[in-house]
């Protein structure tokens, strides 16, 4: 299975861009000889606003004199009560605004309200408990669900939630796609081209070597000068390889036309590989047995977890 994927990688070596100086390089735990490539000619990506400064201004600007934004320690674990969940662009800012509003409406609960953030997004949470079986947790769930101000319930969402420590860069291989999000937690959008994946197809199970095949192909592409990453998604029984990192300018919102960097990357990867084979589909959907064409790699959003 891997041989076909590596063959695809070797086919693009001749047209691979040369790595240049100017950006940090790293070393992979998979192979110490794999250096992260760089390209000084690439424009700087627009990764959006600095929400740390926004959150600080929210805390200072609270006219009601309420408490400033509280953020749980990054290593906090256990269970809390989720009163709001926020993902996507500016999730920390949204959680900070929700915290300030909740602290004003339920001032007697303010000391137990805080924000928990990990790579999935942010949560407005209340309290912290040892487990889901904690008697205090059950009591507080009942109290918060019934909490009202002027006859109106304050909290629409009241659910127990696990607090887990966020992923850390030092715990991940440099070729793991999740490192892209961890380095840029507050981006507007980050896209990449998924050029190959291994996983279940129809009734056929995922190859047992899926993750290893993805890791090895990512290394081969790195040696060829491409900014390649692997992504393991156990919940989907899938492992994939992605190339390139593109910001919100990757696709023109009005026309749907992809940016020059995306189209240049596509020139090296014209066909999506699935389980080591080129994925093809009929040119005419009305003629399933007729001539077929290669399916191009999809442009996907870099996942947060």
Which residues pair with residue 163 across a beta bridge? 78
Domain boundaries, the chain: 2-47+187-301, 51-163
pLDDT at 20: 31
Give the span between the Cα atoms of 130 and 136, in whole angstroms: 10
The residue assigned the tokens 């961890």 is 182
Q: Write the pLDDT tens digit of every residue in 89-107.
A: 788 889 999 999 999 999 9
Q: Of 49-58, 76-85, 110-119, 295-304, which range is least confident?
A: 49-58
Q: Write the pLDDT tens digit of every residue in 152-182.
A: 988 989 999 988 777 788 889 999 999 998 8
pLDDT at 208: 94
Q: Write the pLDDT tens digit of every residue in 9-54.
A: 434 433 343 333 323 223 333 333 333 333 333 334 443 434 344 3
Put simply, whether the predicted model's pTM sits higher than 0.85 gets the answer no
pLDDT at 126: 95
58 token code pair: 């929210």
Taking the alpha carbons of 191, 197, 200, 204 in that order, is the dihedral positive or negative? positive
Give the span between the Cα atoms of 149 and 112, in whole angstroms: 18
Angle at 85 between CA 79 and CA 88, to 5 degrees: 130
Alpha helices in the chain (DSSP H): 2-11, 51-60, 91-105, 135-145, 178-183, 210-223, 260-268
pLDDT at 28: 32
């Amino acid at each position: 299975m891997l041989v076909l994927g590596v063959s695809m990688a070797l086919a693009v070596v001749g047209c691979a861009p040369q790595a240049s100086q100017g950006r940090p390089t790293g070393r992979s735990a998979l192979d110490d000889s794999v250096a992260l490539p760089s390209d000084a000619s690439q424009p700087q990506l627009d990764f959006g606003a600095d929400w740390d400064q926004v959150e600080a201004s929210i805390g200072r600007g609270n006219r009601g004199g309420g408490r400033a934004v509280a953020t749980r320690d990054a290593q906090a674990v256990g269970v809390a009560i989720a009163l709001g969940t926020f993902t996507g662009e500016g999730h920390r800012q949204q959680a900070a605004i929700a915290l300030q509003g909740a602290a004003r409406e339920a001032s007697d609960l303010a000391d137990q309200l805080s924000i928990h953030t990990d790579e999935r997004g942010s949560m407005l949470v209340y309290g912290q408990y040892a487990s889901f079986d904690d008697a205090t947790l059950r009591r507080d769930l009942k109290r918060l669900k019934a909490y009202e101000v002027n006859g109106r319930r304050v909290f629409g969402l009241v659910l127990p939630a696990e607090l887990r420590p966020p992923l850390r860069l030092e715990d991940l291989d440099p070729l793991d796609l999740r490192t892209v999000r961890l380095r840029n937690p507050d981006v507007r959008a980050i896209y990449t081209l998924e050029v190959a994946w291994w996983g279940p197809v129809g009734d056929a199970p995922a190859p047992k070597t899926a993750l290893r095949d993805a890791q090895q192909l990512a290394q081969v592409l790195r040696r060829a000068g491409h900014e390649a990453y692997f992504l393991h998604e156990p919940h989907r029984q899938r492992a994939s390889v992605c190339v390139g990192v593109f910001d919100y300018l990757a696709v023109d919102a009005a026309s749907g036309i992809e940016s020059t960097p995306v189209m240049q990357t596509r020139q090296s990867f014209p066909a999506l590989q699935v389980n080591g084979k080129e994925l093809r589909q009929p040119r005419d959907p009305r003629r399933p047995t007729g001539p077929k064409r290669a399916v191009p790699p999809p442009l996907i959003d870099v996942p947060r977890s």
